[in-house]
C-alpha cells in the first residue's frame, strides 16, 4: 500500500537540512531503485522553486510500504529526523487515484 510521509521543518533548520541531505537522498534512491517511490520533494518556504535562505517548510514523500508500521519505522529512521530538521512527521495511508 502507498503511504504519505509529511515532515514539517523545525524553525531555522536549513543548515541541518543541507548537511543531512545526501544521506536523506540515498534512502530515497533506495526506494526508487526498489520501485516503491511515487514522489518525493520539499516544500519551499516561499513561492519559488529555489527559495535560497528562506529554506523549506517541510517535505512530502509518497512510497509503498508493507504496512503503516513499516512506513512509520522508515520515516522515524530518516536522517532529517536524526538531524533535527523535522519538528514533526505525519504518516498516513495514501490512495493514488490519478494519474492512473
Alpha helices in 1-100 (DSSP H): 14-33, 68-76, 79-82
| pLDDT > 90? residue 100 | no
Output 48-55 pairs: Cβ under 8 A, ≥24 positions apart: 53/14, 55/9, 55/13, 55/14, 55/17
Q: What does the alpha-carbon distance between residue 100 and residue 79 come to, in Å, rounded to a whole number?
A: 32
In angstroms, rounded to a whole number, what is the distance separating the alpha carbons of residues 81 and 76? Answer: 7
Q: What is the pLDDT of residues 16-26, one digit of tens each?
A: 999 999 999 99
pLDDT tens across 25-78, in order? Answer: 999 999 999 999 999 999 999 999 999 999 999 999 999 999 999 999 999 999
Kindly state the average pLDDT of the residues 70-88.
98
* Per-residue confidence (pLDDT) for residue 61, from 0 to 100: 98
Residue 1: the pLDDT is: 98
- pTM for the full predicted model: 0.95
Angle at 40 between CA 28 and CA 15, to 5 degrees: 80
Amino acid at each position: 500500500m502507498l503511504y504519505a510521509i509529511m515532515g514539517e521543518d523545525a524553525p531555522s533548520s536549513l543548515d541541518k537540512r543541507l548537511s543531512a541531505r545526501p544521506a536523506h537522498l540515498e534512502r530515497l534512491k533506495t526506494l526508487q531503485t526498489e520501485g516503491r517511490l511515487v514522489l518525493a520533494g520539499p516544500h519551499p518556504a516561499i513561492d519559488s522553486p529555489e527559495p535560497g535562505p528562506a529554506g523549506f517548510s517541510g517535505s512530502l514523500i509518497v512510497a509503498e510500504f508493507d504496512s503503516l508500521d513499516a512506513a512509520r519505522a522508515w520515516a522515524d529512521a530518516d536522517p532529517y529526523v536524526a538531524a533535527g530538521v523535522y519538528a514533526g512527521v505525519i504518516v498516513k495511508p495514501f490512495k493514488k487515484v490519478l494519474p492512473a
